Structure 1
Amino acid sequence: MRKLLSLAAAILLTMTVPGAADTASASGTALTPPPANWQEHWFEHNQNLRRIAYNDTVALYFDNDVDPNAQSWALPYLTSMWQYAQRTYGNSGNRMTSDRLYSIHHEGKYFGGHPSTVYDASHDYRNVSDVGGQGWNTPQYEVATHETGHIVESIAAGKHGSPAFGLWGDSKWMEFYIYDVYTSLGMTTEAESFYDRMMAADHVDSFPRAGTHWFRDWFYPLWRDHGHAQVMVRFFALLGQYFPASGQDFARSMNWGEFVHFMSGAAGVNLRGLATTAFGWPSTWDTQFQQARRDFPQITYP
């Protein structure tokens, strides 16, 4: 929390609580205030949420069981985190900056979380991080950050959807995203702790083969050697420019060969060797990789 105090001091200038709309306006809030209450109507969720605080970057909503004092860390952190995400992944061709982040928090229910985006009617066309847990007065950076990473992967390309989700699943790109956020915000303690957990020998996955170390052998080398977040910025840009789409939606998911081809374009180097070390390289992937190079010849690398 010490690392966030200077951020909090600036953010509090635009912070408001229910019933303080005049203060928000006087502080320079440019966007229309978000609704004071929001009735959930998705999945099993049925809470009447309270708007606890907001600014032009974040609208913070708690259910009735969350202590309102949790806003003291949540709004400053979420604001600095989402501003970083918008600066990094936002561009004129996507909708990263078209609205606030709507961050919903539940106490003792709906454990875990889910995202939604400005493309989705299910959550009223808002960029939403909806997380459940307990003890929100203690900062819970990781789960709150995780769900916002899913928003990024679903809109940063300027299209709706995540063609690579079926390959990296719910949490593997999130490991890259969370580590980069912590590092970029100067959260050294959190970054080092997260790095140590991700690099541990027992931090393994069963996909695409048993014993895979996604962060250690794939995402961290990409982050370290190819411009930190910029390698993923370029990956999303290439997806938006070249991967098949139907209107505003991506038309299909990627296969492994396409994934390595697009990531190679983003890195500016052939990543077949790195992919082989990280994941193995079945003959079917090589066939897909060579086909991807023919299908998307605009993506080049040595």
Structure 2
Amino acid sequence: MRSLIPAAAFAVPLLASATAWAQVPPATWQEHWFEHNQVVTRVFQDNDVAIYFDKDVDRSITWPNAYVGAVWRYTKKTYGHFGASPHLYAIFHTAKYSGGHPSTYFDTSHDSRNVIDVGSNATNAWISGAGNDLDLVTHEVAHIVEGASKGIQRSPAFGIWGDSKWAEIFNYDVYLALGRTADANRWFNLMQNATDNFPRANTHWFRDWFHPIYKNYGGATVLNRYFVLLAQYLPKNGSAYARDLNWGEFVHFWSGAAGVNLKTLATSAFGWPVEWENQFVQAQRSFPFTYANPGPSVVTLFQDMNYGGYGTSLPVGRYTLSALSAWGIRNDDITSLKVSSGYKVVFYADDNFTGATLTKTADDASLVDDGWNDRATSLVVSAN
């Protein structure tokens, strides 16, 4: 289940046109990356995914159509937008290219598309649609999240958690969210015994770090909030993170996401060298967010009518254009919303809570009839 793509792949040059246009999935696609040189054929397409098989993949296989679509829709509703195109391009290979790799819309090598490209040396690959078939596909989507969420390129923690540690908790969350209880339990049990030799021998990343954070501090909400804080605070060079995190910063950002100081948990899971303590103290000075629980999400905003497209759930707060961007919402891109009882949203047409306003205190499947389709630039969520 190892991804073929190195960490450097999350740091390719930015494209001026990366978010400027949405592509129509072609009927065939000539691969032109790494050792891949197949002409793959589109076997399925809907509003969210385009599935491609090479000539050796059994055409009776259909499980990716529903499964990959469900994973990608959940991903967009949890982490926000991933560029102008709504599609994830999923390529499957049989009897070649064992493993997998991702690419994001920032990367010209895969024609500026969000891509997962998976293969197997087996001649009967992908028939079961279970176990490792699901794990590998979901794993590669995890890399897209870490490398391109919130409209920012690169994974600043890749050098810390490597190729699969983030994907371990991402897979678990996806299985739970999609109601695949048996797969969630299978994955949980598998991860209980998984160990790595970094940052020290016999490290249990899932058991001792990610799962306690996930279980105790908000599930998918805490996972998303980590990327929100990165987008808000970590220095950028254009639309890419300017540098990687060090260990002290890594623990600081996850503490911010969890709303509690995670130094004790990190010490138990990884150890705590003096160097990390110094980095942690400096991180608290450099990025002075508090370890406070932001409260429950009370409003969910959607890109399209009838709660479609990507979505983002927000707690009470004031959100400028830059804050909305950090949460994964593009400017002028809200068309429907869900509001918890007792709360309200005030939309503003311009940044910094200026311009025309619209107040909503209940769910609305379409802002078109209010004349507010794709108009909101800043907003305030508060008790009603």
> What range is the shorter-chain TM-score in?
0.7 to 0.9
Matched, 1:60 2:51: yes
Give the distance between the partners of 1:105 and 1:231, measured in 2 at CA.
32
For residues 226-248 of structure 1, the C-alpha deviation after alignment (integer angstroms, 9 at most, x for no partner) is: 11111111000010111011001
For residues 24-44 of structure 1, the C-alpha deviation after alignment (integer angstroms, 9 at most, x for no partner) is: xxxxxxx86410010000001
**Counterparts of 1:185-196 in structure 2 under 5 Å?**
185-196=178-189
For residues 180-230 of structure 1, the C-alpha deviation after alignment (integer angstroms, 9 at most, x for no partner) is: 000111111111111001012xx2100000010000000000110111111
1:35 match: 26
What SS does the aligned partner of 1:232 have? helix
1:73 match: 63
Residues 268 and 96 of structure 1, relative CA distance in 2, 3 Å threshold: farther
For residues 246-273 of structure 1, the C-alpha deviation after alignment (integer angstroms, 9 at most, x for no partner) is: 0011111100000000110000000000
Q: Is the 8 A contact 2:95 2:119 kept in 1?
A: yes
Q: List gaps (5 residues or longer) in structure 2.
A: 1-21, 293-384
Which TM-score applies when normalising by structure 1?
0.85
Matched, 1:105 2:95: no
Give the distance between the partners of 1:274 and 1:182, measured in 2 at CA.
25
1:8 match: none
Residue 108 of structure 1: CA displacement? 1.2
1:127 match: 114
Q: Is the 8 A contact 1:113 1:131 kept in 2?
A: yes
Give the distance between the partners of 1:279 and 1:40, measured in 2 at CA.
41
From 264, 274, 277, the equivalent of 1:273 is 264
What SS does the aligned partner of 1:51 have? strand
Residue 97 of structure 1: CA displacement? 6.5
Q: Which structure has the highest strand share of the two?
A: 2
From 154, 170, 181, the equivalent of 1:177 is 170
From 218, 221, 227, the equivalent of 2:212 is 221
Q: Is the 8 A contact 1:157 1:237 kept in 2?
A: yes
What SS does the aligned partner of 1:69 have? coil
Which TM-score applies when normalising by structure 2?
0.67
Give the distance between the partners of 1:47 and 1:213, measured in 2 at CA.
38
2:79 match: 89
Give the distance between the partners of 2:167 and 2:82, measured in 1 at CA.
20
Give the distance between the partners of 2:263 and 2:212, measured in 1 at CA.
13
Matched, 1:294 2:285: yes
From 86, 99, 104, the equivalent of 1:117 is 104
Percent identical among aligned pairs is: 54
Residue 158 of structure 1: CA displacement? 2.5
Q: List gaps (5 residues or longer) in structure 1.
A: 1-30
Give the distance between the partners of 2:201 and 2:150, measured in 1 at CA.
31
Residue 136 of structure 1: CA displacement? 1.2
Give the distance between the partners of 1:119 and 1:68, measured in 2 at CA.
31
1:249 match: 240
State which drifts further: 95-104 or 236-245.
95-104
Residue 301 of structure 1: CA displacement? 1.4
2:311 match: none
Q: Is the 8 A contact 1:154 1:160 kept in 2?
A: yes
Residue 155 of structure 1: CA displacement? 1.3
What SS does the aligned partner of 2:25 have? coil
Give the distance between the partners of 2:85 and 2:217, measured in 1 at CA.
28
* Runs of 4 or more consecutive aligned structure 1 residues displaced over 4 Å after TM superposition: none
Give the distance between the partners of 2:281 and 2:252, measured in 1 at CA.
9
Q: Is the 8 A contact 1:58 1:78 kept in 2?
A: yes
Residue 98 of structure 1: CA displacement? 3.4
For residues 39-80 of structure 1, the C-alpha deviation after alignment (integer angstroms, 9 at most, x for no partner) is: 00000100001111110110000110001121x211101111
From 161, 165, 171, the equivalent of 1:168 is 161
What SS does the aligned partner of 1:162 have? coil
Give the distance between the partners of 2:51 and 2:24, measured in 1 at CA.
12
Give the distance between the partners of 1:190 and 1:196, measured in 2 at CA.
10
What SS does the aligned partner of 2:97 have? coil
From 128, 134, 159, the equivalent of 1:141 is 134
1:230 match: 221
Q: Is the 8 A contact 1:118 1:126 kept in 2?
A: yes
Q: Is the 8 A contact 1:235 1:263 kept in 2?
A: yes
Please tell me the root mean square deviation across aligned C-alpha atoms, in Å.
1.2
For residues 55-113 of structure 1, the C-alpha deviation after alignment (integer angstroms, 9 at most, x for no partner) is: 0110000110001121x2111011111111110111xxx52673300000110111110
What SS does the aligned partner of 2:151 have? coil
How many residue pairs end up in the alignment?
Answer: 265
